[in-house]
Amino acid sequence: MRIPFGFKNVGGRIAADMEQAAVVKMIYDLYLGGRSLGGIADELRVQGICSPSGNQIWMRAAIDKVLVNSKYVPIIIPDDTYWQTQVERGRRSNIGDEGRKAARYSSQNVLSGLLVCGDCGRTYRRIARPNGEVVWRCADRVEKGKMASCRNPHTVSDEEIKRLICDELGMEQFDDAVVKASLASICVGEDGVEIQLQHPQNLPTLTV
């Protein structure tokens, strides 16, 4: 198995390579600071930093591969920084990497706008992890990281939230139309997930 850029083998154990780890941190900082993939490549070339393959010029694909690698968390990159980067990547995918125009977060997913944070009241964002897993996370924490006022750390699995909804509505399979017509909100709090129907009634709290 090839060791990812930023790590090294120390006596059979994978550990952070301090020199390469500093480059990884720089890439994340530059990206969240507004640099495009091409701009980051130029900066790395100017500083004489070689790519993972040893080339003097970094390809954009190599930089993007660093930006999506969840193995850096939390050894090299903080969890909040990683999630902020994934949201920024999603935003730029809608407007182009150069980011010449502003764009609001949007999603066609039926659950978007329904999941609400029980701590700060903001909605949850749908995020696809590099391994293909889809999760939901409070927008305040995604956007602001450690600066967020929200204290709700819960990340909810898309698969789990759909299972809970199916159990609540008595569905064998998740149905977008039924969910849209039936649910008023889904509150994600410290005690679990509380599903509210369009017609208020006393509902049990379902723990994730």
SS (H, E, C) 34-93: CCCHHHHHHHHHHCCCCCCCCCCCCCHHHHHHHHHCHHHCCCCCCHHHHHHHHHHHHHHH
The structural domain count of the chain equals 2
**Average pLDDT across the chain, whole number:** 83
Q: Is residue 189 part of a domain?
A: yes
Boundary of a domain, candidates 61, 95, 129:
95
pLDDT band at residue 199, thresholds of 50, 70 and 90? low
Tell me: do 189 and 135 sit in the same domain.
Answer: yes
Residue 66: the pLDDT is 94
Residue 95: the pLDDT is 55
Q: What 3-state DSSP class applies to 33? A: coil
Is the pTM here over 0.75, yes or no?
no
Q: Which amino acid type is present at position 119? A: D
The answer on pLDDT for 205 being more than 50 is no
Tell me: do 121 and 71 sit in the same domain.
Answer: no
pLDDT digits (tens, 9 = 90+) for 143-190: 888 788 888 888 899 999 999 999 989 999 999 989 988 888 888 887
Select the more confidently predicted residue: 94 or 77: 77
Tell me: do 54 and 127 sit in the same domain.
Answer: no
Select the more confidently predicted residue: 121 or 97: 121
Tell me: do 80 and 124 sit in the same domain.
Answer: no
Tell me: do 119 and 88 sit in the same domain.
Answer: no
Tell me: do 12 and 89 sit in the same domain.
Answer: yes
Q: Is residue 100 part of a domain?
A: no
The answer on pLDDT for 207 being more than 50 is no
Q: Is residue 86 part of a domain?
A: yes
Tell me: do 56 and 11 sit in the same domain.
Answer: yes
Residue 146: the pLDDT is 77
pLDDT digits (tens, 9 = 90+) for 134-149: 899 988 888 888 788 8
Q: Is residue 120 part of a domain?
A: yes
Tell me: do 128 and 89 sit in the same domain.
Answer: no
Q: Is the peptide bond before 74 cis (omega within 30 degrees of 0)?
A: yes
Task: State the first-to-last Cα distance of the chain, in angstroms, to the nearest integer.
Answer: 34
When pLDDT is averaged across residues 58-84 and rounded to a whole number, the result is 90
Tell me: do 70 and 133 sit in the same domain.
Answer: no
Q: Is residue 73 part of a domain?
A: yes
Q: Is residue 39 part of a domain?
A: yes
> Which residues span the domain enclosing 69?
7-95
Tell me: do 123 and 46 sit in the same domain.
Answer: no
Residue 195: the pLDDT is 86
Using a 10 angstrom Cβ sphere, with 0-12 exposed, 13-18 middle and 19 or more buried, the burial of residue 40 is buried
Determine the distance from the C-alpha atom of residue 109 to the mean position of all C-alpha atoms in its chain, rounded to a whole number: 16
Q: Is residue 190 part of a domain?
A: yes
Tell me: do 11 and 89 sit in the same domain.
Answer: yes
43: left (phi over 0), alpha (psi -120 to 50) or beta: alpha
pLDDT digits (tens, 9 = 90+) for 22-70: 999 999 999 999 999 889 999 999 999 999 988 888 988 889 889 988 8
Q: Is residue 106 part of a domain?
A: no
